[in-house]
A = this chain, B = another copy of it.
Amino acid sequence: MRNISKEDYLSAIYKNIDSNSKVKANVIAEKMDVSNAAVTDMLKKLAKESLIIYEPYKTIKLTPTGESYAKNIVRRHRIWELFLHQIVGLPWDKVHDEAENLEHSGSDELINRMEVMLNFPEFDPHGDPIPAIDGSIPKQRDSVSLSKLKEKECGLVVRVNDFSQNFLVYLAQIGIELKQKIEVKEIRSFDNSMLVLIAGNEFNISKTLADNVFVEIVKN
């Protein structure tokens, strides 16, 4: 049977690898909300199974086996998210929590079947790429944080961080969704909040909000 705990650790490791494909144990402890000691414990187990490369006091690296294992879990998670969104009609702010459990259930056969139903999708409801069955990752469009745009610039929403359910609910409320066009009208330099135009309506958004929305810059 699937080992939920190990799967969650591996996927947390995968999602937190830095530019040097390394992860600090520290970060994992925080993301998983467990003690550092628990992480050390698990790292030893994962290393014993050759899923990670681990030496005391060093940063963690995934082995090729570990990486493909991790990618498979991320794949399951994101396919579930998209399935729940598109087929079941769950709003994008609810899919992450459901998928967090569902990712550990469902045979590969079921996951693949859902992938077919969804017509081999490349991105989940938040714009994150869905690893294919062969481990390849769809290329994402070049994007920058909305907070990087200058006045008068325009962007198409490519991805949003699903870092808080409340955040996603609010985005939906003001009309921010994938592919939506956003124009920056004004930037207030004292707090970096922005006045933006979304589908004909103006909204004032905080720096924090803008930081977590990623857009592809477009003309006009």
Chain A residues numbered 56-115 whose CB sits less than 8 Å from any CB in chain B: 84, 87-90, 94, 97-98, 101-102, 104-107, 109-110, 113-114
Cα A113 to Cα B95 in complex, Å, equals 13
Q: For the complex formed by this chain, how many copies does it contain in all?
A: 2
Q: Are A101 and B105 in contact (CB under 8 A)?
A: yes
A97 contacts across to B, CB distance below 8 A: 107
A98 contacts across to B, CB distance below 8 A: 105-107, 110
A109 contacts across to B, CB distance below 8 A: 94
Q: Are B113 and A106 in contact (CB under 8 A)?
A: no
Q: Which of B84, B107, B113 contacts A89 (CB 8 A)?
A: B113
Q: How many residues of A contact B (CB 8 A)?
A: 19
A176 → B minimal CB distance (Å): 24
* 5 shortest interchain CB distances as A-B pairs: A101-B105, A102-B105, A105-B105, A98-B110, A88-B113
A-B contact pairs, 16 of them (CB 8 A): A87-B87, A88-B110, A88-B113, A88-B114, A89-B113, A90-B110, A97-B107, A98-B105, A98-B106, A98-B110, A101-B104, A101-B105, A101-B106, A102-B102, A104-B105, A105-B105
